[in-house]
């Protein structure tokens, strides 16, 4: 009796388990219980799941997330401090070059930029790594470079990079992420409205359409970004609040008179929508404040004349002959920039260093 009852129970239990398992399998494989799966179920990826070739590259002073298809970085991160900006590293010793970590077929080449009309634009600026020649040299790998408008590169963008360095005078740490954007444009003439095959009453003909359009350069078809972005987070050690700002700058000439960086400021969420990256996943919004108002900062860039004087002084520091000094003063005169007493003192000091006489430099009025 016991044996019969148990057998009956067991059969019921086993039968129920089989049915339950069949239903579960059917649900998982989108089948119905009354339609059993027959035959071989193929593998989803018989030759392996497609592999994302984009990869993170770590250098001495910066980090790159590299896009093999576009042959350029998607983002570049770095950290600035007062100490990292000190040193004798010299960009004249650095050379633009391919990075051997990247297969040649997936890399830009210097030849791509020749006669292209575009300059080689650093994402992590070389001048940010004065503390180490190796770190500065690393910024010249083409993995850190995108095609950039020459006027923009030497003008507005250069002043933005200087602004970032100046932030180290107000904050202990300045964290920066930089990269290219391929932004949507609009064109009212996306079709030829005089074409006989076009229906003139079609609303689509009369409606402007969005599109993404960009130039490519060289044999490697390196894309030219429509815009560049920069995320800046500045903070003091031990403080909970972080001053944060995100900026998108068009990759074209910007007036040298423009000093208002806040004009190009965008929301953190907006930049995320355009790039697909959450750049600051561990920084809560309520732990940030606006960079352009923190510590009295107004996001104003240097005046272009101040920048010209800055570079003239830098060139004087590296001058190796009287001819080099004359070239600096001649350039300033051409740009209608007066040489002040500080500049004269630097010139005189340089002359003494080169064991030359202290005679006034030709073309400089004496005060």
By annotation, the residues acting in catalysis are: 122
Angle at 112 between CA 110 and CA 118, to 5 degrees: 95
Angle at 77 between CA 72 and CA 80, to 5 degrees: 135
In Å, the largest CA–CA distance within the chain is: 125
- To the nearest 10 degrees (0 to 180), the angle between helices 304-317 and 341-353 is 10
Q: Which residues of 229-239 are buried (b: 16+ CB within 10 A; e: fewer)?
A: bbbbbbbeeee
Length of the chain: 367
Contact between 269 and 246 (Cβ < 8 Å): no
Tokens 């592999």, residue located: 51
Residue 80 φ/ψ, nearest 5 degrees: -110, 140
Rounded to 10 degrees, the C-alpha dihedral 153/304/352/322 comes to 60
């Amino acid at each position: 009796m016991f044996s019969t009852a148990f057998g009956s129970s067991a059969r019921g239990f086993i039968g129920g388990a089989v049915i339950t398992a069949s239903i579960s399998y059917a649900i998982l494989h989108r089948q119905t219980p009354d339609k059993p799966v027959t035959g071989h179920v193929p593998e989803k990826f018989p030759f392996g799941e497609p592999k994302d070739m984009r990869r993170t590259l770590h250098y001495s002073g910066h980090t790159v997330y590299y896009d093999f298809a576009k042959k350029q970085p998607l983002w570049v991160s770095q950290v600035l401090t007062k100490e990292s900006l000190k040193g004798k590293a010299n960009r004249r010793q650095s050379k633009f070059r391919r990075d051997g970590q990247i297969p040649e077929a997936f890399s830009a080449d210097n030849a791509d930029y020749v006669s292209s009309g575009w300059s080689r634009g650093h994402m992590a600026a070389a001048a940010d790594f004065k503390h180490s020649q190796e770190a500065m040299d690393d910024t010249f790998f083409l993995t850190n470079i995108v095609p950039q408008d020459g006027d923009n590169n030497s003008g507005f963008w250069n002043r933005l990079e200087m602004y970032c360095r100046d932030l180290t005078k107000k904050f202990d740490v300045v964290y920066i992420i930089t990269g290219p954007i391929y932004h949507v444009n609009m064109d009212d003439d996306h079709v030829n409205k005089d074409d006989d095959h076009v229906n003139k009453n079609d609303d689509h003909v009369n409606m402007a359409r969005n599109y993404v359009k960009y130039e490519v350069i060289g044999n490697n078809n390196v894309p030219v970004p429509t815009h560049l972005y920069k995320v800046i987070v500045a903070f003091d050690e031990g403080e909970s609040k972080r001053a944060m700002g995100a900026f998108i700058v068009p990759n074209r000439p910007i007036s040298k008179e423009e000093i208002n960086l806040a004009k190009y400021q965008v929301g953190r969420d907006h930049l995320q929508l355009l790039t697909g990256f959450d750049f600051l996943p561990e920084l809560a919004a309520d732990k940030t404040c606006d960079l352009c108002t923190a510590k009295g900062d107004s996001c104003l860039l240097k005046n272009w004349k101040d920048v010209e004087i800055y570079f003239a002084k830098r060139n004087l520091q590296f001058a190796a002959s009287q001819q080099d000094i004359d070239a600096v003063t001649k350039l300033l005169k051409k740009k209608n920039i007066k040489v002040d007493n500080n500049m004269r003192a630097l010139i005189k000091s340089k002359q003494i260093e080169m064991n030359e006489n202290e005679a006034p430099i030709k073309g400089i009025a004496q005060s």
